[in-house]
Amino acid sequence: MSAVMDWSNLKQRFVYFWRLHWKKGLAIVFSVLAWVSLLVSMGLEIADFYEYGTMSSASFGWIWNLVFAAIVYSLILIGNIQGTSLAFNGMLIFVFSSVFNFVLYLAQAGITWLMGLILGDPLTAAISVIYLVATVMSIVSGILVYVYTRRYLVSNFASYSTLRNWTIVFCVLNVISLALFPTVLLLETGFTARGFLAYVSVLGDAFISVAIFFTVSRLKSEY
């Protein structure tokens, strides 16, 4: 009987919390999913290394990306749990790094490689064009999100609706870019285990992008 009452009280507390703080709850849920995806990706990379003797990237680069992602995900997760500005610091770091990586990719062989694919078969060409547009727009929207977030955190006169709208745009475009990059690789090389690994490796950033939207949503409502 006591166990039933404890479960009932726990359920009521959860429902009450979720009703008042559902945005905070979703930010935490997607941050946890990002962490789980990161751990799964790490496990698959290690298994791939032991099976084939190679990793999908240089060892130092892979370790750096893993540590960096772990720090950013932790800042956003802990900040949302505590309801502090720590989450927004993690968000700003993630947005800045995403924009930097997109610019670096396009500045290197990205555009040349994509233009070659655009001249290929129609399906690959269409997806490559969408990916290129989404990537460029992610850079633009990411810069605006970074600027408006910094401005909102230090000024009471900054527009919340502008920040929220650009955050939505950035998160959607970022998820599209993350999903299309391994898709383009698969269309070019065919489905392989390493292609599947490419999908898993971007899941964490996709989940944390959604968590960022709900993190920003809490700025005005405090829910």
Please, what are the averages of pLDDT over each run of 10 residues along the chain (223 residues)? 59 70 87 92 75 56 83 94 88 92 75 63 76 87 92 78 91 89 70 66 89 85 50
Question: CB within 8 A of 172, min separation 6: which ones?
Answer: none
Q: What is the pLDDT of residues 144-153, one digit of tens each?
A: 999 998 888 8
Query: Cβ(202)–Cβ(182) under 8 Å?
Result: yes
Q: Using a cut of 0.85, tell me whether the model's pTM lies above it.
A: no
Cα separation, 18 vs 26, whole angstroms: 9
pLDDT in the model for residue 41: 83
Query: Cβ(86)–Cβ(75) under 8 Å?
Result: yes
Dihedral of CA atoms 13, 16, 20, 26 in degrees, nearest 10, equals 60
pLDDT in the model for residue 223: 42
Domain boundaries, the chain: 22-221
